[in-house]
Homo-oligomer: A and B are copies of this chain.
Amino acid sequence: MGSDDLVKHHSDYTNFDTTDASKQSVLFQVVENYRALVDDQRNWVCNLANAASLIWEAYHKLNASGLSKADVNWSGFYVVDKLDTNQLILAPFQGKVACQTIPIGKGVCGKTASTKQTQLVPDVNKFPGHIACDGETNSEIVVPILLDNELKGVLDIDSLTLEGFDEVDADFLQKLADLIAATCDW
């Protein structure tokens, strides 16, 4: 994938190629397919909705292929709430119903927002002030979405398994978050 020539339907953007048998290769395709999708579209809701789907499908393919420990039960976004900039508000996601708002500074998403630093959490139950939208979640990664160092939101992925994510995930998800920041009108 990564080329529009091979896309018959939009759903084909989630047909990730695992012949390289590496997490890096699939996460690279997530970034490149997102780039192709948003070529002519800057609506943030639309772009985040498709990005959440790309991430969900990629991690399920990775887990089924034995290339990622993460058994992803939630992938999506919180953005800065324009009506109250002290909190994040739920944005497009895949997975079960989630908390609507998160105070900046609180929990894994809130800490990512307040520090503008990725939080790689091998065991959420040991994270001080963790907000459990889903009690089955065991590990989590949250990456800030920053435009000119201004916080726009966070990219959040939850896993049923402990230690679901590592530095490879953090690197590629930061690339994706940076691309999302630059390709949307916020």
Contact = CB atoms under 8 A, between A and B. Distances in A.
A118 interface: no
B89 A43 contact: yes
Contacts of A43: 81, 83, 89-90, 100
A126 interface: no
Interface residues of A, number: 39
A11 interface: yes
Interface string A12-55: 01100000000000000000010001000101011001100110
Where chain A touches its partner, the secondary structure class is mixed
Interface stretch (A91-99, A105-113, A142-150, A168-176): A91-99
15 contacts: A8-B135, A10-B98, A11-B135, A37-B97, A41-B100, A43-B83, A43-B100, A45-B79, A45-B89, A49-B76, A49-B91, A53-B96, A92-B92, A92-B93, A94-B94
Interface of A: 8-11, 13-14, 33, 37, 41, 43, 45-46, 49-50, 53-54, 57, 76, 79, 81, 83, 89-101, 132-136
